[in-house]
Structure 1
Amino acid sequence: MTTIVVIAKECLPGRVKTRLHPPLSLEQAAVLAAASLDDTLAALATLPATRRILAFDGVIPPAAAAGYEILPQSQGTLDVRLAAVFDACEGPTVLVGMDTPQLTSSLLEPVFTDWTDDVDAWFGFANDGGFWTLALNDPSGDLIRGVPMSRGDTGALQLTRLTDAGLRVSLLPTLTDVDTIDDARSVAEIAPTGRFAAALNAMMAASTKDGLR
């Protein structure tokens, strides 16, 4: 029995992917964020999770999250919000962000097929120094609470927290977290058939701005 948790914000202009503005408008950045979340949910759809949770900061969840339990995010810094998610779960739990739309089900398949007795956690670095996934066999918010987030060393600090607690950690591939327009272009090339790539390509084709040519 494994729980999948996706942590996400409602994709409203000015609330998501603001570092894409400029060259994108805030409205375009929100559309791209929504496509990223939809691609993430689609990638997770075929995995044999027994429980699916959307840890959501917003009012109207995306249609692609149909069938997910909606868990409102707690107040506080990101480490506090992530910790609250794990505290709300029992048994093997996989947390995934919404900012790596190149995610495929095969990347997370080992968590469901190779979680042996000698593995306590799975961890996937993001290219910006953070992390895109964390899976804990015995979820506890204390393993996250207090780790500085949104820094170039966040992933390293989080991994150290896990290993210092005596956990045996298996690493998953590093993925690109979409923060900048260059990240967006790179991810669209990696996953050219996804909603994210289609949305970005449409924006680029429609724009006459030099930064999007």
Structure 2
Amino acid sequence: MRQSGGGLDERLAAAFGHARPGAPALLVGMDTPQLDAASLAAPLAPGARAGADAWYGPAADGGFWALGLARPTAPLARQLLLGVPMSTPRTGEALLARLDAAGLRVGRLPRLTDVDDAASAAEVAAAAPGTRFAARLAGIATARAQR
């Protein structure tokens, strides 16, 4: 589906509005290339999901890399996300406060570093050296060194 317009808070809320009724949904940021299916398998396994209304993946910079809802609806997504200041060191804190205010039981996902700049790219590549991301970053470094 096409991404909707508006700020990041509006686009995230709109994405949840497209979720299949009655099915859980997980939105994952594209700037966490070290994430793999194995990292999500345990925390999102059926037994681990029992009792959780939402899942939150904190980012090292104070934001978040994932948000999941057990029963997403467009009104709930708007309640949780609209007006949350995005891309700040307090974004995650603000989202957690919204989840708490909505009375949702939140399961935690691993803390990850999202790639926002060259330093965080190097950190992520070092943490996940076998990924395509790490290989591409090493290729860029090699090309620059050969100039």
Confirm or deny a common fold (TM above 0.5): yes
The letter of the residue matching 1:198 is: A
Equivalent position of 2:44 in the other structure: 111
Q: 2:65 aligns with which of 116, 119, 132?
A: 132
RMSD: 1.3
Task: Please identify which structure carries the higher strand content.
Answer: 1
Structure number with the bigger relative contact order (C-alpha 8 A, sep ≥ 6) is 2
Structure 2 CA distance for aligned equivalents of residues 180 and 138 of structure 1:
34
Structure 1 segment 126-205 matched on structure 2, within 5 A: 126-139=59-72, 140-142=76-78, 143-205=80-142
The letter of the residue matching 2:98 is: R
Consecutive unaligned residues of structure 1, counting only runs of 5 or more, are 1-70
* Per-residue deviation, 1:144: 1.3
Equivalent position of 1:99 in the other structure: 31
Structure 1 CA distance for aligned equivalents of residues 122 and 57 of structure 2:
21
The letter of the residue matching 1:169 is: V
Per-residue Cα deviation, 1:92-131 (whole angstroms, up to 9, x for no partner): 1011010001102122112133210x21111011111110
Identity %: 50
Consecutive unaligned residues of structure 2, counting only runs of 5 or more, are none
* Per-residue deviation, 1:208: 3.0
The letter of the residue matching 2:112 is: L
Q: TM-score, normalised by structure 2?
A: 0.89
Q: Describe the SS at the equivalent of 1:103.
A: coil
Structure 1 CA distance for aligned equivalents of residues 14 and 60 of structure 2:
25
Q: Describe the SS at the equivalent of 1:173.
A: coil
